[in-house]
Amino acid sequence: MSDPTNPHIKERTTPQWGLYQRENFWRQNEGTTPLFNTGKYYASSNAGMSNTHLANRQAFYRHRLIPNQLIDTNNRSTRTKIFDHSVSAPIGFAPVGINKIYHSAGEAAVSKVASELNLPYCLSTAGSTSIEKVASANGPKGTRFFQLYMPHDDELTVSLLTRAWENGFDALILTTDTWQLGWRHDDVALSNYAFYRGFGADMGLSDPVFLSRCGADGIDPDVDVVAASTKWIDSIWHGRAWSWEKIPWLMETWRGISGGRPFVIKGIQSVGDARRCVELGVEGIVVSNHAGRQVDGAVASLDALERIAEAVGERIYVMFDSGVRGASDVVKALALGARFVFIGRLWIWGLSIQGEDGVRHVMKSLLADMDILMGVAGFNGVEDFNRDILGRSCFCCDVRMAADFEMQSRIRRITRSYHRRICEWKTLRDGCCF
């Protein structure tokens, strides 16, 4: 499952980033290796009390795979298509900003690995590497999409979209849940906002329209990069929400620039919003709660997916992210109606610990994990993943079996006084306590 040419295999010195699935692997190294520095807090912080983050993981534990036996899986394949692109697996690199706070190689290294593995790469507007440099690293054969935090400056928006299209980003993903950052207490307590320290503005500092805006305000990025970075992040995370009325303009603008390439909305969590996307003619949606980083106490992304896919899955391309930690999670999301799954924190952890090699190892491990799971569970292709392969479990009764030790302790605290009473109710709730 690891690269057989890796010298760590023979020497039995595989570093902890080999434990790609486990959220507690950075816990095991804490105090010995500074895994993320300030990036650790940004990558691991969640909104409020982390209840949405917890709900995301609970939802995956509640659904259990039902393996099939004596199935010939010798010719199995993880391959699929996304927006006319043939890719290695229904797995993509989710848009994550300011990669250089995790490793100096930044987005260029990540997009390079994505191309090597033939997986789609999504570049965030909050990236710490320019559109042009990321495209160059991703190469002419890479599948790449551009994620937009839409400014309240139409000329700047058009400039970003034009640059993205001219550099081979052929789908646009509008994120609708982050006009401003959620209340992430760890970041607030540490004043951990890299943008106000001069990181993460590369997208703006390489944009002619944004540079003209800086000039008009008397800001010279070469002299005061912090002021320029502050202006950039205040342009895209501006705290002023858009409404549905703006979507037709953005769709028309993107389609005019790209010749009609797909337009996607990311952050959908309600059936009503999903239906609105269908009515507007949006090509795709990403069911996502931003990995629990925006709204505390929100619905689990997987639970939202189940309802949304049932309502609109036949009429729009449904994708998913939030809370994925391994191949079984990917399969569960696909079985519940997603056609594609995006991964964020897994490869960020790899990038943080080992740079480009860490990203490569984590994602190759995930692909190997999925291939092996399909082989031993009796699945030959992604078309085999449907609701018939899923069962449900009483989650609170299974908490001792959870691999995520951090989550175990939190659940025990929450359920200790109610555990007996809740379990008595489970027969009234389809055999599941939660």
Task: Report whether 124 belongs to an annotated binding site.
Answer: yes
pLDDT category of residue 430 using cuts at 50, 70 and 90: very low
Three-class SS of residue 9?
helix
Residues 2-25: tens digit of each pLDDT: 456 666 656 655 555 445 655 544
Higher pLDDT, 334 or 296: 334
* Confidence at 434, pLDDT banded by 50, 70, 90: very low
Tens digit of pLDDT for each residue in 298-333? 999 999 999 999 999 999 999 999 999 999 999 999
Catalytic one of 53, 63, 290, 361: 290
Q: How confident is the model at residue 102 (pLDDT cuts 50, 70, 90)?
A: confident
In tens, the pLDDT along 129-140 reads 999 999 999 999
Known binding residue 175? Answer is yes
**DSSP letters of 244-302?**
GGGHHHHHHHHHHHHTS--EEEEEE-SHHHHHHHHHHT-SEEEE--GGGTS-TTPPPHH
Query: 361 catalytic, yes or no?
Result: no
Query: pLDDT tens digits, residue range 270-291?
Result: 999 999 999 999 999 999 998 8
384-426, pLDDT tens digit by residue? Answer: 999 999 997 754 545 544 445 455 555 445 444 434 443 433 3
**77 marked as part of a ligand binding site:** no
pLDDT digits (tens, 9 = 90+) for 218-252: 999 999 999 999 899 888 887 888 999 999 999 99
Classify strands 263-268 and 284-287 as parallel, antiparallel or unpaired.
Answer: parallel
Supply the pLDDT for residue 15. 55
SS3 label, residue 11: helix
Decide if 342 contacts 320 (C-beta within 8 A).
yes
The stretch 153-177 carries a mean pLDDT of 97
Does 63 appear as a known binding residue? no
User: Could you give the domains of the chain?
Assistant: 80-387 (3.20.20.70), 393-434 (no CATH)
C-beta atoms surrounding 369 within 10 Å = 17
Does the annotation list 294 as a binding residue?
Answer: no
What is the chain's mean pLDDT, rounded? 85
